[in-house]
Amino acid sequence: MNLSACFRALLLGGLVSSLGLPAAAQSLKLSDQMRAQAALPAAQSGSLTVDYIVALVNSAPITNNEVRQRLLRIEQQSAQQGVALPPRDELARQVMEQLVAERAQLQEAGDLGLRVDEASLLQAEQGIAAQNQLSLEDFRRRVTAEGLDIQRLRNELRSQLLLQRLREREVEQRVRVSEADIDEFIREQNHNNPAALELNLSHVLVQVPESAGAQQVSVLQAKAQRVADDARVAGADFSALARQNSDAPEAANGGSFGWRSANRLPPLFVEATRSLPVGGVAGPLRSAAGFHVLKLVEKRQGSAAAFVVTQSHARHILLRPGPQLTQAAAVAQLARWREQIASGQANFETLAREHSQDGSAQAGGDLDWVNPGQFVPEFEEVMDALKPGEMSAPVVSRFGVHLIRLEERRNRALTDREQRDAAKGMVREAKAAQALQTWSQDVRARAFVEFREPPRP
């Protein structure tokens, strides 16, 4: 998980993955959290002063207020997003268990000597501020204005960063991806996506009438078997066999179906020919229509859905705040240029060449075609929301302030090398998730946990 994903996990107090919340709950930004926290009724906030210990994890306490605060935050955010939650008693139990697991893991990090220094914490704060299109100072002022304790938020962030470092350290050494793993993953993807397989088949049908008795069926099956045997003889002319023996409409074309994707062929035909070598013959195969003999003339493998990416072609103008240019001034300048471009008074490419503080400036801000994940999340999220020809409002990222225009968007199949790289990443992610779960369960099992009074959320 990168830092951006870590921030999103922080917004739900680390509960997204452990509670199995729907994906909609994972995209909340910090502003949503702040509003949710600020929206807690005053009576609830006041009652948090009365507290008691609900559990001890290796003698470290978990309080009722901790359970209550996290539960309320989850419920507030889920209500805003329309996310269904389990019954409250079950949710409270899951929140308790997650707090226990986190406390045990934080203790493990301490035992290993892991720390989060002030510079790393500051960088993380700046990253959250950039995602919310704020400077660090504006972010802190907004947190305070929303009624949140900035030091408490920093402590939560420090804990989440520490947990992330620990998990990466412990899980990375458990994950290995072999070439055989990659081959198997690609085979499964293609097998599960029939549209990715394309076959050129020739076909002989020996039709069996619905009223046929057992003797007639036997005679017709024998005929189909002779056709299959003849077809398997080296040098046999399958098209001649089809013209002479097939009852199918394509008999006049020598039994040829031509190229078809696997999902446009009967599953019986696909399964019988999927593993055949080119030139191989399958059959006779029985169906409701009769007996079929198939020859695989050619086959080719397209790209499964997992190996087709949506690429974006965009331009941008980048201004980098510094001693001579504040972030607010950069935002205002790009907003003015946006209005001038939209009204036809200025040209995007010209402004990019003259003012953009990026290597793409000479090309008029052209970023060329890019795959998902190539830009930082705060940039890519805005770009992905644009339609071709649209311009964004000024966007703050860790690199500066951008004005983005989306030129085009397209779907492209990955090359064989790119497919293997993508497959390796997906296999690694799946193995890492399993390894994380196993490791987390192990840490939890080694912790001494004493449950005291049940929480009253």
Confidence (pLDDT) at 73: 82
C-alpha distances (whole Å) from 149 to each of 156, 312, 365, 453 are: 11, 40, 41, 28
| Tokens 């409002």 sit on residue | 393
| Tokens 């394309």 sit on residue | 198
Instruction: Kindly report the number of other CB atoms within 10 A of residue 215's CB atom.
Output: 8
Confidence (pLDDT) at 193: 63
Confidence (pLDDT) at 82: 75
CATH (residue range 194-301): 3.10.50.40
Confidence (pLDDT) at 196: 64
Residue 339 tokens read as 């209005």
- Superfamily of domain 3-173+432-451 in CATH is Porin chaperone SurA, peptide-binding domain (1.10.4030.10)
Spatial distance between the Cα atoms of 335 and 408, rounded to a whole number of angstroms: 22
**HEC sequence for the chain:** CCHHHHHHHHHCCCCHHHHCCCHHHHHCCHHHHHHHHHCCCHHHHHHCCCCCEEEEECCEEEEHHHHHHHHHHHHHHHHHHCCCCCCHHHHHHHHHHHHHHHHHHHHHHHHCCCCCCHHHHHHHHHHHHHHCCCCHHHHHHHHHHCCCCHHHHHHHHHHHHHHHHHHHHHHHCCCCCCHHHHHHHHHHHHHCCHHHEEEEEEEEEEECCCCCCHHHHHHHHHHHHHHHHHHCCCCCCHHHHHHHHCCCHHHHHCCEEEEEEHHHCCHHHHHHHCCCCCCCEEEEEECCCEEEEEEEEEEEECCCHHHEEEEEEEEEEEECCECCECHHHHHHHHHHHHHHHHCCCCCHHHHHHHHCCCCCHHHCCEEEEECCCCCCHHHHHHHHHCCCCCECCCEEECCEEEEEEEEEEEEEECCHHHHHHHHHHHHHHHHHHHHHHHHHHHHHHHCCEEECCCCCC
Confidence (pLDDT) at 306: 60
**Phi-psi region at 344: left, alpha or beta (left = phi > 0; alpha = psi -120 to 50):** left
| Assessment of whether the complete model's pTM goes beyond 0.85 | no
pLDDT per residue over 142-169, tens digit each? 888 888 788 888 888 899 899 989 998 8
Cβ neighbours for 227, distance < 8 A, ≥ 6 positions apart: 204, 206, 241, 245, 284, 293
What is the edge-to-edge ordering of all strands in the sheet holding 281-286? 256-261, 197-207, 290-301, 281-286
> How far separated are the first and last CA of the chain, in Å rounded?
31
| Tokens 């039994």 sit on residue | 255
Percent pLDDT > 70 in the chain is 86
Domain 308-413 CATH class label: alpha beta
Confidence (pLDDT) at 295: 92
Task: Give me the residue spans of the domains in the chain.
Answer: 3-173+432-451, 194-301, 308-413
Confidence (pLDDT) at 318: 96
Q: Which of 127, 15, 145, 106 is nearest to 67 (CA)?
A: 15
Instruction: Determine contact, residues 96/54, Cβ cutoff 8 Å.
Output: yes
Instruction: Determine contact, residues 391/338, Cβ cutoff 8 Å.
Output: yes
Confidence (pLDDT) at 336: 94
Cβ neighbours for 456, distance < 8 A, ≥ 6 positions apart: 64, 68
Q: Pick out the chain residues at pLDDT < 70.
A: 1-49, 131, 133, 190-196, 301-306
Asked, colleague to colleague, whether 194-301 and 308-413 share their fold, the answer is yes
